Amino acid sequence: MSIKVRGIEFQSNTDNAMGLRFTNLSHRWGYQCPNWPYFEDVKIERIHYMAKSGVLSQRITTSMHSTTHIDAPAHVVQGTPFIDEVPLPHFFGSGLVVSIPKKKWESITADDLEKACGYAIRPHDVLIINTGWHKIYEDGDYFAYCPGLVPSAADWMVDKQVKVVGHDTQANDHPLATAIGQHRNGPLLPHLKEEYRVWSGGRDWADDFPEWEPVHNKLFKHGILGIENVGGDLDEVTGKRCTFAFFPWNWERGDGCIIRLVAITDPKQAYRIEKGEAF
pTM of the shown model: 0.95
Residue 23 lies in a domain: yes
Q: How many domains does the chain have?
A: 1
| pLDDT in the model for residue 10 | 72
| pLDDT in the model for residue 161 | 98
Residue 192 lies in a domain: yes
Domain with 221 in it: what CATH number? 3.50.30.50
Residue 197 lies in a domain: yes
Q: In the structure, what pLDDT confidence band is assigned to residue 67 with cuts at 50, 70 and 90? A: very high
Nearest to 113 by CA among 183, 167, 174: 167
Nearest to 70 by CA among 263, 238, 255: 255
Tell me whether residue 180 is exposed, middle or buried, using C-beta atoms within 10 angstroms of its C-beta: 0 to 12, 13 to 18, 19 or more. Answer: buried
Domain of residue 201 covers 17-28+64-265
Q: In the structure, what pLDDT confidence band is assigned to residue 23 with cuts at 50, 70 and 90? A: very high
Tens of pLDDT, residue by residue over 140-159, are: 999 999 999 999 999 999 99
Q: Is residue 247 predicted with pLDDT exceeding 90? A: yes
Q: In the structure, what pLDDT confidence band is assigned to residue 15 with cuts at 50, 70 and 90? A: low
| pLDDT in the model for residue 14 | 58
Q: Is residue 232 predicted with pLDDT exceeding 70? A: yes
Q: Is residue 183 predicted with pLDDT exceeding 70? A: yes
| pLDDT in the model for residue 93 | 98
Q: Measured between alpha carbons, how far is 60 from 47 in angstroms, rounded to an integer?
A: 10
Residue 37 lies in a domain: no
| pLDDT in the model for residue 11 | 65
What proportion of the chain, given as a percentage, has pLDDT over 90? 93
Residue 104: Cβ within 10 Å count: 12
| pLDDT in the model for residue 63 | 95
Tens of pLDDT, residue by residue over 91-103, are: 999 999 999 999 9
Residue 6 lies in a domain: no
> Dihedral angle at the C-alpha atoms of 26, 31, 34, 36, nearest 10 degrees?
110
20: alpha, beta or left? (left if phi > 0; alpha if psi -120 to 50):
beta
| pLDDT in the model for residue 8 | 81
Q: In the structure, what pLDDT confidence band is assigned to residue 12 with cuts at 50, 70 and 90? A: low
